[in-house]
């Protein structure tokens, strides 16, 4: 018998919340537009080298409304779990994390993507976000494998993945079109068994 498909549902969108030590994750909402657009605009030069080329209207309210509709549809279909990252104490938007390409059946796998506003980078906040999201992926969503790909010269992203237990598995030639150019990527992955083993050893063991 096939395992049940986990749907990302809450009675209201505001009710879904995953908490870390200093941050919390929740669904993106239409009311986040002003803060999101300001943070993305201020961080544009910092983010563009690592992301697909931004459309000309990317930071407009209409484009954001479409983004939210796409997020909601993908989440309801069980295809993706897009989340925004907020600071617990201030409530400020810090960045975003997305579990995409969710595959059930024989795979039980997803891909991980993330971004952080420039002013908040390098403070361990995305590390906190991933540490609270990974248990949700394995314990609640019952997925078996999380994959992540990063550009070889993105040393910061590689260190982040390694800190939460991801292993470098391979090299992907011309994997994604980033900022207008096809770029090679390093493939990282974390499977449930490795994460559970690291968690059983306690803090500092990589999980």
Average pLDDT over residues 54-67: 97
The answer to whether position 104 is within a domain reads yes
* Total domain count, the chain: 1
Q: What residues contact residue 185 under an 8 Å CB cut-off, 6+ apart?
A: 149, 150, 151, 152, 171, 172, 175, 176
Average pLDDT over residues 5-11: 43
For residues 74 and 80, the answer to whether their CB atoms sit within 8 Å is yes
The answer to whether position 83 is within a domain reads yes
The answer to whether position 6 is within a domain reads no
The answer to whether position 102 is within a domain reads yes
Distances (CA, A) of 21 to 86, 112, 124, 125, 174: 11, 20, 11, 9, 37
Predicted confidence (pLDDT) per residue in 84-139, tens digit: 999 999 999 999 999 999 999 999 999 999 999 999 999 999 999 999 999 999 99
The answer to whether position 2 is within a domain reads no
The answer to whether position 7 is within a domain reads no
The answer to whether position 150 is within a domain reads yes
pLDDT-derived band of residue 14, with 50, 70 and 90 as boundaries?
A: low
| Structural domain range at position 17 | 13-201
Average pLDDT over residues 163-192: 97
Neighbouring CB atoms inside 10 A of 132's CB total 18
Higher local confidence (pLDDT), 165 or 8: 165
At residue 80, the pLDDT reads: 97
Predicted confidence (pLDDT) per residue in 147-171, tens digit: 999 999 999 999 999 999 999 999 9
At residue 200, the pLDDT reads: 84
Predicted confidence (pLDDT) per residue in 22-41, tens digit: 999 999 999 999 999 999 99
Average pLDDT over residues 37-58: 97
Residue 52 has pLDDT above 60, yes or no: yes
Average pLDDT over residues 15-27: 94
- Alpha-carbon torsion angle 48, 96, 111, 16, nearest 10: -160
Q: What is the CATH number of the domain that holds 126?
A: 3.40.630.30
Cα–Cα dist 103/94, whole Å: 28
Strands 81-87 and 23-26: antiparallel
The answer to whether position 177 is within a domain reads yes
Q: Tell me what percent of the residues of the chain surpass a pLDDT of 70.
A: 91
What integer best gives the mean pLDDT of the chain? 92
Average pLDDT over residues 46-50: 96
- Alpha-carbon torsion angle 146, 200, 16, 33, nearest 10: -60
């Amino acid at each position: 018998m096939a395992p049940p498909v986990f749907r990302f549902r809450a009675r209201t969108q505001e009710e879904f919340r995953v908490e870390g030590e200093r941050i919390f994750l929740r669904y993106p909402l239409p009311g986040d537009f002003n803060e999101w657009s300001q943070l993305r605009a201020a961080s544009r030069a910092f983010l563009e080298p690592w992301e697909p080329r931004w459309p000309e209207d990317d930071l407009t309210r209409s484009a954001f409304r479409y983004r939210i509709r796409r997020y909601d549809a993908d989440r309801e279909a069980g295809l993706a779990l897009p989340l925004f990252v907020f600071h617990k104490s201030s409530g400020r938007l810090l960045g975003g994390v997305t579990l995409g390409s969710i595959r059930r059946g024989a795979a039980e796998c997803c891909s991980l993507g993330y971004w952080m506003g420039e002013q908040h980078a390098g403070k361990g906040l995305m590390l906190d976000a991933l540490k609270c999201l990974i248990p949700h992926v394995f314990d609640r969503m019952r997925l078996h494998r999380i994959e992540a790909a990063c550009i070889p010269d993105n040393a910061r992203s590689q260190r982040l993945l390694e800190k939460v237990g991801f292993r470098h598995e391979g090299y992907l030639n011309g994997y994604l079109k980033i900022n207008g150019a096809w770029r090679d990527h390093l493939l990282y992955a974390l499977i449930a068994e490795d994460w559970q083993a690291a968690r059983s050893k306690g803090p500092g063991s990589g999980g």
